[in-house]
Each structure stands twice: as structure tokens, then as C-alpha cells.
Structure 1
Amino acid sequence: MFIAFTPTRLHPAGPGKLEAVLKQYDSGAPKVEGREHKALSGATETTVYRIEREYQCRTAPITLSPAGLAVWDTFAASCGAGEFFTFDPFGTEAAPDAPGTVQLKFRSFKQQRQPAWRFVFSFTIVEILA
């Protein structure tokens, strides 16, 4: 997995690039975001804002230094409010596979600390289809 983002919050020094191995990469069916209004006459008006697909992601355990953990923290802070970033689930920076522009779902980023500075990160990304 390769992530490229623009560091804007927390520790904005350095390039915004992350690489890891995905242990989980699951998606659901496309979801329509919008609203529906039914008038007293019975007429229905539907407004579609967008069609999106969510992907549940979890990394394999990663051994990180404090500086490496700071880059993950910067990613969570810089993209946690709906900012777009580049995500390639099966590629790397040197060998891209299928990079796309996605958003991090609000409050979905979690980190699990294991012994010996090993971490597992889980998050949900949202791909805008239309």
C-alpha cells in the first residue's frame, strides 16, 4: 500500500508518503448520498449529492521508530477532516498499481500499539464514484 498526502497539521515537515502491507482491504456496495423529500401532494423529490464506496483498511503489524510514528500521526491529522490524498492499495511509490484519489472517513483512523514499537493502523477510506 502506498499513500501520498500533503502534510498540513501536527508535524508538517518532510514529504507526506507512507508505505505498508495491507492485511485487510474490504469494500461494500456503492452508497448513494443524498436526501428525499415527499410533498403533501405525494410527489417525491430526490436530490443525489454523490455516489461513494467505502473501503475498510488494516495494515499488517509495522515496526516504527518515533519519527516513523510521527508520519502516521501527521497523516491522520492532515487528512482526518476530509482532505483528499492518493491511495494505491497494492502498489508502491516505485511501482504504482492503481493509485486513486480518496478521502479518509471522519474519525475512522485507529492505531493499535503492540510490544516493541509495532503498530497496526486501521482506517476507512471513501472513494467518490460520481
Structure 2
Amino acid sequence: MLITFIPTRLVTGGDGKLEIGLQQYDSHDQAEGKEHKALSGYTEHTAYRIERHSICRTLPVRLTRAQLDQWREFAASCAFGEFFTFDALGTEAAPDNPQTVQLKFKSFKEKRLPGQLFEFGFTTIQVIA
């Protein structure tokens, strides 16, 4: 997995690139809109967009303090809907299918595991229609 973002919170002096393997990558499409049902029984649908939600969880990895700070920079820089490039199956050397996505609000989770390992989970959102 490759993530490319613009560091805006300046937690670190990193270059805005993260590369790590994924242990979970599940996607589903979700329609956004509203439904109104009148007293007569008539139902009216208003469609806003279709979003693709991708739930991601990284492989456990041992990180240096600087690498951990880069992950925290990503979480801080993309926390409020900022766009970033996400390539689930690609690397910097061999891109697969980079997409411009947003981080779902409050979805980024940092988990510390035994043995000084870290695992990160987050959900990306891409408007597809």
C-alpha cells in the first residue's frame, strides 16, 4: 500500500509518503441521499452521490520514532477531509491503481501491539458517482 499526502500539520519533516503492507482491505459502495414518505404512501428518493468506502488495516510493523511520527502526521494532515492519494496494491516503484480519496472522519486508529509493533486502521472514502 502506498499513501501520498501533503503534510500540513508539520508534526515531522517527512516527505508525505507512507508504504506498508495491508492485512485487510474491504470495499463497499454506499448510496448517500434521503427518503421521504408522504401520508399518501408515495415515497420520494433524493440521491446525492455514491461513495466507495474502503476499510484498511496495516500489517503489524516495528517503527522508529521518526516513522511513527510520519503516521501521526498523516492522521493529523488528513483528519478533516483533505484529499490524498491511496494505492492499496501498489508501491512507489510499481504503482497499481492510485486513487484520490479522503479519510473518513474519526476513522484513523493507532494500535500498539506487544513487542513494539504498531498497526494502523482507517477508512477511505471515494466519491464515484
Fold shared per TM-score above 0.5: yes
**Alpha-carbon deviations, 1:30-86, whole Å to 9, x = none?**
211112234556654432221011111111111111110010001011111111110
Alignment of 1:1-130 (within 5 A): 1-11=1-11, 13-28=13-28, 30-39=29-38, 44-130=43-129
**What TM-score, normalized to structure 2?**
0.90
Matched-pair contact (CA < 8 Å) for 1:111–1:120? yes
Matched-pair contact (CA < 8 Å) for 2:12–2:69? no
**Alpha-carbon deviations, 1:90-123, whole Å to 9, x = none?**
1111110111011111111111112343100011
> For the residues of structure 2 that align with 1:58 and 1:14, how far apart are their CA atoms?
22
What fraction of aligned residue pairs are identical, expressed as a percent? Answer: 60
Letter in 2 for 1:25: Y
> For the residues of structure 2 that align with 1:5 and 1:64, how far apart are their CA atoms?
19
Helix, strand or coil for the counterpart of 2:11? Answer: coil
Structure 2 unaligned spans of 5+: none
**What TM-score, normalized to structure 1?**
0.89
Q: CA RMSD in A?
A: 1.7
Aligned residue-pair number:
129
> For the residues of structure 1 that align with 2:125 and 2:27, how far apart are their CA atoms?
10
Matched-pair contact (CA < 8 Å) for 2:12–2:66? no
Distance 1:72 1:42, change over 3 A: same
